[in-house]
């Protein structure tokens, strides 16, 4: 059944006249196989700029907040450690040889996506960067930013985006939409679409993990958070299983590039599916078990960080 569905999808994709220019803009596979992979550290200037800016603002906010965080410095240090780990995972996903390898092998691309969504995402949420970024500004700047975020439109938009059910749906939609063959191959053929793909993966993952960890399921409580984790594990595992068990190549634009790593195109696709299915599902399972253990112990909900003026 999976093979039949994949075959139908491929026939429809090949029949799309608009897809021909994208294929023409795709990499020259023969030239790549002859030259070997160009793997190294680095990223587009705007990616490097955003990474550097996020770290500098966090460090500046931490420096300014630390003297005022009486009685809460241990928690603040723990949050800084979480953020640092998440930031390092962003660098690994976006500026390491892993990013280049994703252009040659679907399996490497899946590792990159998993690092963004299930490693960097929760670590950054646990780091609570919004408060620290705010404290990077002076008193007048903080007041202006706070006043702007208290507007009805901003509060309504933020509330809608971070509502647990909405965050779950957005993450679900981004994951499945971008893995539709036509959409995924658009991202392979165009750098702008590739950037949009990664941005949507990371942004929706941050919203999802904020709904689960930042507010522990919001008004649904920890029980709701466990449900969101379990259902996400199920649907991501289902997508991974489709890749693993399919005998049809979903993304022909990869061509034979996976031969650079000793894999046939089908083996590369199946390996990518296994990465999404097994390690990816395990990450959601572990997070769910941790929350479940805390819920069963009926521990108090985390208190907000209190600082003295």
> For each of the chain's 309 residues, which pLDDT tens digit applies?
434 434 444 343 333 334 433 433 334 444 444 445 567 888 899 999 999 999 999 999 999 999 888 888 899 999 999 999 999 999 999 999 999 899 899 999 999 999 999 999 999 999 999 999 999 998 899 899 988 888 888 889 988 998 889 999 999 999 999 999 999 999 999 999 999 999 999 999 999 999 888 754 444 556 778 889 999 999 999 999 999 999 999 999 998 999 888 999 999 999 999 999 999 999 999 998 888 887 777 555 545 444 444
Length of the chain measured in residues: 309
Distance CA 108, CA 178 (A): 16
Tokens of residue 223, six digits: 């029980």
Q: Is residue 34 part of a domain?
A: no
Q: Is residue 250 part of a domain?
A: yes
Tokens 């647990």 sit on residue: 164
Q: Is residue 152 part of a domain?
A: yes
Residue range(s) defining the domain that contains residue 249: 43-297
211 close to 225: Cβ distance less than 8 angstroms: yes
Distance CA 42, CA 22 (A): 25
Distance CA 202, CA 191 (A): 17
pTM above 0.75, yes or no: yes
Distance CA 173, CA 167 (A): 10
Tokens 């679907």 sit on residue: 106
The number of folded domains in the chain is 1
Q: Is residue 266 part of a domain?
A: yes
**According to DSSP H, which parts of 66-190 are helical?**
73-95, 97-101, 106-114, 121-126, 129-135, 139-149, 152-162, 164-178, 181-189
Q: Is residue 200 part of a domain?
A: yes
Q: Is residue 95 part of a domain?
A: yes
Q: What is the DSSP string of 214-234?
A: ISTTGGGHHHHHHHHHHHHHH
Contact residues for 49 (Cβ-Cβ < 8 A; gap 6+)? none
């Amino acid at each position: 059944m999976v093979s039949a569905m994949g075959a139908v999808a491929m026939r429809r994709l090949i029949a799309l006249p608009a897809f021909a220019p994208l294929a023409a803009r795709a990499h020259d596979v023969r030239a790549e196989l002859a030259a070997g992979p160009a793997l190294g550290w680095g990223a587009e200037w705007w990616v490097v700029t955003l990474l550097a800016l996020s770290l500098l603002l966090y460090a500046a906010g931490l420096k300014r907040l630390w003297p005022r965080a009486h009685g809460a410095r241990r928690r603040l240090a723990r949050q800084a450690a979480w953020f640092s780990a998440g930031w390092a995972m962003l660098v690994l996903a976006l500026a390491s040889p892993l990013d280049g390898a994703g252009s040659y092998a679907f399996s490497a691309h899946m590792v990159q996506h998993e690092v963004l969504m299930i490693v960097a995402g929760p670590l950054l949420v646990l780091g609570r960067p919004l408060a620290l970024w705010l404290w990077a500004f002076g008193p007048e700047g903080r007041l202006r930013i706070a006043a702007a975020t208290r507007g009805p439109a901003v509060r309504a938009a933020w509330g809608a985006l971070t509502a647990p059910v909405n965050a779950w749906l957005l993450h679900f939609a981004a994951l499945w939409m971008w893995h539709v063959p036509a959409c995924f191959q658009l991202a392979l053929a165009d750098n702008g679409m590739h950037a949009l793909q990664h941005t949507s993966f990371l942004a929706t993952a941050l919203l999802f993990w904020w709904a689960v960890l930042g507010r522990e399921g919001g008004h649904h409580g920890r029980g709701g958070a466990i449900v969101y984790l379990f259902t996400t594990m199920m649907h991501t595992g289902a997508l991974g299983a489709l890749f693993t068990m399919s005998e049809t190549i979903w993304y022909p634009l990869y061509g034979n590039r996976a031969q650079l790593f000793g894999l046939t195109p089908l083996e590369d696709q199946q390996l990518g599916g296994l990465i999404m299915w097994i390690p990816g599902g395990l990450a959601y399972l572990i997070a769910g078990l941790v929350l479940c253990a805390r819920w069963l112990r009926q521990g108090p909900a985390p208190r907000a960080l209190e600082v003295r003026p």
